[in-house]
A and B are shown apart, each in its own frame.
Chain A
Amino acid sequence: MTITVDAIRRCLEGVIPSTIATCAPDGTPNISYVSQVHYVDSSHVALTFQFFNKTHSNVLANPRATVVAIDPQSAARFELDLEYLRTETEGPLFESMKAKLAGIASHSGMAGVFRLLGSDVYRVRAVTPLAGKQLPLPTPRRNLLASLRACSQVFERCTDLSALLEALLAELEAKFEIRHSMVLMLDGAGGRLYTVASRGYRDSGVGSEIAVGCGVIGVCAQQKTPIRIMHTTAEYSYGRAIRESAERAGMGGLETAIPLPGIADSRSQLAAPIVSAGRVLGVLYVESPEDLRFSYDDEDALVALAAQLGVAIRAMQETEDLHEAPRPPARPGAPSGGAQVVVRHFAADDSIFIGDDYLIKGVAGAILRKLLADHAREGRTEFTNRELRLDPQIRLPDVSDNLEARLILLHRRLAERSGALMLEKTGRGRFRLCVNRPVQLVEVPRT
């Protein structure tokens, strides 16, 4: 019976270091510890290439190598018969391994020493179990395939994006015991991601942004690949990601007024790209205060859910386009009472302040300005997604930009920050602006 690499993935988490043996062309053996034997697919693994050492020079001359990997729960050992193929120095595999290595380095006191120069990709010729004592495996608390199936049912049940995201994050907690999660959507033009839903944080952080390429989430979106870290590491920490994001903010002002949600003692992190038709739409991100919380199996489950989310988002957008709701007639809303609220719109960055409190900027800010201007001028309260999509003043960065996600963001920010204004969904592709107090819209022009 042939064993494939996926059957022994637990041995490849880097919990117990593996060893690799190679041969120089003259037959001299070499043996070395290796920080990470990374699972690529059922017949390939990749090893971290960190230093120009004997292992690397040997496999360049003679591609055969042997690895012994150990199951960190049962102590079962496996001999992997390998053949070196190539070294990758950039791209998804390299970035996944770089992030994982940063966690391992930080955990083992080798931060700054372990540095990934390349991912050495090997074909697995054979996996052979070695004789020896094995401990019985503890009974798993749950079956992740069953959890995945149960979690997938939210896609059958939910028909609008807001409810879907909320249900998905709730199911991650119920079925996977993942208590801290968020969904970020890619801003089509700006090279940034904005938080549209979260669960398990003191502040929702909806509206916060992170630059593509920064931290676990940003690298996941940039490389269109899952990124998983099993120990806390400064290199990929929120603090640093935000700092670097801010430094790159020359691209049009990253949202920094709303802090990104995050747990203070995050030790395990996993980001899965939400992809549809080959394009990254966003990132599904989860974290935990436990070390080694997310396994290869968790990664598979999250990637599968993120893929379903990508298909669902695309399908919802297409359905919305099919159901082109007619522009509702201008009908004055009920007069609102109470003290007047001053809403200022700054043309420079479409930022909105309600009284003295910052609300939002960018596309969501431009949307609210349009709604309030129409309301002031015509007394309108009923709107459609389609008219927003077509409005040149809103400047959606891309035709495929997810307007629904922008509306969810605006809806949540209003719900969190203001009692005076609310958005209410009234049907597919249509919604209502609820103005609970008299509003004065003040336009602050570009200076």
Chain B
Amino acid sequence: MLSLIAQIGRTTIQQLAGMGRMFLFLLSAFAWVFRPPPRLRLIVEHIRTIGVDSLSVVLLSGVFTGMVLGLQGYYSLRKFNAESFLGSAVALSLLRELGPVLSAFMVTGRTGSAMAAELGSMKVTEQIDALYSMAINPIQYLVSPRIIAGLISMPLLTAIFDVVGIYGAYLIGVGLLGVSSGSYFAGMQSSVVFHDVWSGMLKSVSFGLIITWVCCYKGFHALPMATGVGQATTESVVLCFVLILVWDYFMTSVML
């Protein structure tokens, strides 16, 4: 019994220590943003990796999410003779929840995993040590630009996801199922307020932070062994998914 309690205590302390290290890592990354030299070129490069390179997967998932919403929304609303509300239902669910969360999932899978693998591989092959030995802080060089790029790219990708999602639902609802185009957009116009857009964007910024922070941390602390990089990548993706959902709940409950 005592050993069980001791084990629980040890595990708790380890988890808390791990969380502390993660927060210190984030603080250090932010502190390095403001120290010279500025890393604008690297930030732009990572915006390309996180933003532009994720565009195709975000477009594809956005349009199909919208199409499914159009289809499901139409059949649910028809039961109440409320098909004309399809535009509002799609726009609200995309702008407030599905857009930020699903585009964050896509970016985690597409870019976050690659980020963790790249940094993990750099750790295992001593490239991070090489940076230290050249008197270059690897957090400033490798982590801070990625976090800034994540904060910039994620809301833009979410906005694109929202727009193509709305048109995906339009394609099905208006083009295929006969909802009036005017009522689709008029409903949207009357029910969507700026707060809906703003809360979705705020969520996406925080998801951008979660993805880059978690994936960089896990890659940076990959174990120097053959399975280390794989383990870091898996852990980073799983942790990102969980944190995105948990954080989404808290943000929704605060901003509702």
Q: A and B: partners?
A: no
